[in-house]
Amino acid sequence: MDQVRDAIGASDLSLYAIAKAAEIYLSTLTRFMSGERGLSIDALEKLAPVLRLEIIVTEKKKTKK
């Protein structure tokens, strides 16, 4: 998720403009940027074209106990 935060921070757009273009709530984006919450896959899929990102979903590796 740090890569998404970095892309948002590097964007020339305001958080408001990004949220509006991605059709997500500004509060969702603000909470994500502050580290208060994560983003859903749906929100990531909406943000990707706005930020010119490609989202790749992979399986989590299982840890041995």
pLDDT per residue as tens digits for the range 21-65: 999 999 999 999 999 999 999 999 999 999 999 988 788 777 776
In a domain, 44, yes or no: yes
In a domain, 62, yes or no: no
DSSP state of 52: T
The CATH number that applies at residue 11 is: 1.10.260
Q: How many domains, the chain?
A: 1
Give me the pLDDT at residue 29, please. 95
In a domain, 30, yes or no: yes
Q: Which whole number is the average pLDDT over 10-16?
A: 94
Give me the pLDDT at residue 65, please. 67
- Reported as a pLDDT band with limits 50, 70 and 90, residue 2 is confident
In a domain, 64, yes or no: no
DSSP state of 36: S
The range of the structural domain enclosing residue 23 comes to 2-51
In a domain, 61, yes or no: no
What is the token pair recorded at 17?
């403009």
What whole-number distance in Å separates Cα of residue 21 and Cα of residue 57?
Answer: 23
